[in-house]
A and B are shown apart, each in its own frame.
Chain A
């Protein structure tokens, strides 16, 4: 069974942490993964940096810019990930925009993910219909999970379509907006979380965008299977460095 599915079967209040590969330093990838693993996070998302990250707020944008300046490439990331499965057993997801993956070669990308021990993919600008038509069978043949996003604006009909096509979990975008840390959820968001909960989808749900502290993490867990934190961790990395990862995670986990 895919590690992602296993994790959702065995654990609740999942904490998944996103970081940008190549940030703050080019060769930090495995160091960060080791730190996160030691801090008992449940899942890790590795962001493949892109020059034009449309869905990301300033924190992740800047980390991507820095990572590219540092010299991060798709090939280099796979090289760095060679030792991945000797240091951690938790599920690892790669998140990347579609263009760099297309240029790398979609099949080659999937093969190298599989070889590296990656469990799933999030490609925010690969739409569901095109995925279904041209890429779904490939991804599934390589034994990878593909996760899709839903937002407060996504219609119930479409959520069912996304639920059917997703494998692993559904990435529930908490609000209107791009990625970035926010302090708490408003009434409207809670209402949206409750609406989705009542839909009884077949995939578990992780809430992302705007999760930054114990308060938002706890609230996300009350309304779903857990949450994804990105910008707040990137900011922490920037301020305090890789070695202080545990300080950040400790404050969030309950």
Chain B
């Protein structure tokens, strides 16, 4: 059977690996040697599950979207990650990594953040565990995402501006990596998506896989099958998608659909549709598809949703794209915004703009009546209210 999960040496097909400077080798090697052993220990599993239940509020519902299903004449389920504590799936991963960091004896946590969701989720678990927390955030994002900056500060984190390059997510990631190079012994770096050097893509996917495994369990109760026909999620770096897809990766009966942000349109020069616009290369220590110039300089993507404008995708997704195991669809700003409103008014759920992108495939693809279509409703729209207000003149 073809394997779409990670190989022993840390690759998904041609993609992945750990292309890191020697300065990071001890940190990465420590993680590579320990992450599975720790994550699979009964003590870890017990603590992880307990926190997911009591603190995050899991299991999140698998909600049958009645009106939407009727409109599109198919069966549509929403995996309600928007109901997680802090408002998105991001916290599943930060809970996992903070527990891992504690087992590794780390005293200091660093993280990067773009829109601020992962920063908030990291600051939250650091407060929970009483650990020092430093969040790197692009200088431009700090002004664009003021409420999340305030949240992180309230939670006790220090927010440090990334002032280099384009002053956004990729530069915040660079700064976090530089911090880690400078503090290799006491610090753990909590990466927020399925990107970065091996083992991060797999580690984050494992901590997020609770989304997919819960879905299976919940589906059997309502549909008498563990298998949906389609699993659909938005992809920036790709962590919510990886979490939902994880148990279905090698089951080809389940169609995998990745929704990317087309921004102002794939060919406008202001887009984040990495699978179409990207080429093979190395970003943040991982071989994957990324947006770059012919000369190998990494370029800045654009999307109305700050959570989707990462210039790469995780190596798992790059492999899903190359092998055609996953179908990739790109949705532009206007369609995403339209669906933000539609989901609000048809199901009473105001989604994050990232999440809204995923739903827009309902108008781009045909589904049959008997299909079981699972959407990862990855985050709620509170953080995007300003963007919604400005767009719809609310």
Contacts and interface: CB of A to CB of B under 8 A. Distances in A.
Contact of A73 (B23, B165, B295): B295
Given A127-B20, A151-B22, A176 B174 contact: no
Given A98-B282, A125-B282, A54 B22 contact: no
A39 to B, nearest CB: 29
Given A52-B298, A99-B281, A178-B182, A173 B23 contact: yes
A117 to B, nearest CB: 22
B174 A98 contact: no
Contact of A99 (B177, B182, B184, B292): B292
Contacts of B181: 54-55, 176-178
B282 A127 contact: no
Contacts of B184: 153, 176
A102 B170 CA distance: 20
B7 interface: no
B345 interface: no
A99 B283 contact: yes
Interface string A10-52: 0000000000000000000000000000000000000000111
A79 to B, nearest CB: 13
B23 A52 contact: no
Interface residues of B, number: 35
Nearest to B183: A176
B322 interface: no
A99 B283 CA distance: 8
A124 B22 contact: yes
B164 A65 contact: yes
Interface of A: 50-55, 57-58, 61-62, 65, 68, 73-75, 98-104, 124-128, 130, 148-151, 153-155, 158, 162, 173, 176-178
30 contacts: A51-B165, A54-B21, A54-B181, A54-B285, A55-B23, A55-B181, A62-B164, A65-B165, A73-B295, A74-B296, A98-B282, A99-B292, A102-B280, A103-B279, A103-B281, A103-B292, A104-B296, A125-B285, A126-B19, A130-B19, A149-B23, A153-B23, A153-B25, A153-B184, A154-B26, A173-B22, A176-B181, A176-B185, A177-B182, A178-B182
